[in-house]
Amino acid sequence: MTRAVAVNVAANTNEPGFRGPVYPEGSFAYVPIPESAATLSRDRFPVDEPLPTYDDCDLPFSLPDSLRDRPVHMDPEFPGVHGRERATYGDPYAIKAAPIADLEPGDWLLFYATLALRPVGWNGPGADGADPDSTVVDGSVVDDDLAPDWGAYLFAGLRVQRILEGPDREAAAEVVPTNAHLKRDPFDARVVVAGDPDESGLFDRVVPLSTPATGADANDLVTELSSDSGKGPWWRRPMRFDEPATATVLDRIRWA
């Protein structure tokens, strides 16, 4: 039996100004947030690699020129996704770091994001003068578990191999050398997680945390199985799942 924690990550209406897309059949695109902190010079990174930009991301839509060369905070990272090779995550916020640090090897760190419903072939934020957060579904048949505008969805997971709570830069570099927080100056992660590269990654399809009626309403995965009440802005908070709840969540991921 394993436990799980789910945390909110990825692009949103604040940074970089639009939500990533979820498509009518439940596929999606993982869009990292911009890097908002000062970073080290490349020669001081633990691994010799450039600071990634949106241009380095493998996205199925176009971005405005103002974003293309903007550095991204590639966290979480997954093997084979946006050119990354490892499964890692780091977090500087106590409210998320505490439940993550309570996990053990074999447990799951799950990731969810608020995603906007988009038509297949969507050209990207502000395409054709459209509101970058509007929903356009072009007559496509939409799966009946997706929210009509935006919703919160599980989209990826790390199978925990190792966790360090309160690490310094040197200790973190030994465990997650490519993690985005090790490129920051100063290093700011309260917890870092190394995932099993064979079991970690993006899901084939999203798993909704919102109801099909509206993105702001939480479904039973949140209200009945997680530690969260589903009240207020629940889609911004970390969620704990005990062993029986995690089994149910993993079943939904497998059958999504």
SS (H, E, C) 108-154: EEEEEEEEEECCCCCCCCCHHHCCCCCCCCCCCCCCCCCCCCEEEEE
Structure tokens at 53: 């930009």
d(CA 122, CA 112): 21
Q: What is the pLDDT of residue 7?
A: 98
What percentage of residues in the chain have a pLDDT greater than 90? Answer: 90
Sign of torsion, CA 175 181 182 186?
negative
**What's the chain's length in residues?**
256
List alpha helices for the chain, DSSP H: 65-68, 94-101, 169-175, 220-223, 243-255
Radius of gyration of the CA atoms of the chain, in A? 18
What φ, ψ does residue 86 adopt, rounded to 5°?
-120, 165
* Stretch among 127-136, 152-161, 196-205 having the lowest mean pLDDT: 127-136
Residue pLDDT, tens place only, 179-195: 999 999 999 999 999 99
Q: What is the pLDDT of residue 214?
A: 97
Q: What is the pLDDT of residue 99?
A: 98
Q: What is the pLDDT of residue 126?
A: 63
Quote the mean pLDDT of the chain: 94
Q: What is the pLDDT of residue 133?
A: 56
Q: What is the pLDDT of residue 125?
A: 85
pTM of the model: 0.96
Q: What is the pLDDT of residue 129?
A: 46
DSSP-derived 3-state class of residue 181 = helix
73 CB burial (10 A radius; 0-12, 13-18, 19+) = buried
Assign 256 a pLDDT band (cuts: 50, 70, 90).
confident
Residue 149: Cβ within 10 Å count: 16
Q: What is the pLDDT of residue 136?
A: 60
d(CA 232, CA 253): 25
Provide the total of helices (H) and of strands (E) in the chain, helices listed first. Answer: 5, 10
d(CA 252, CA 256): 6
Given a cut of 70, is residue 132 above it in pLDDT? no
Residue pLDDT, tens place only, 209-243: 999 999 999 999 999 999 999 999 999 999 999 99
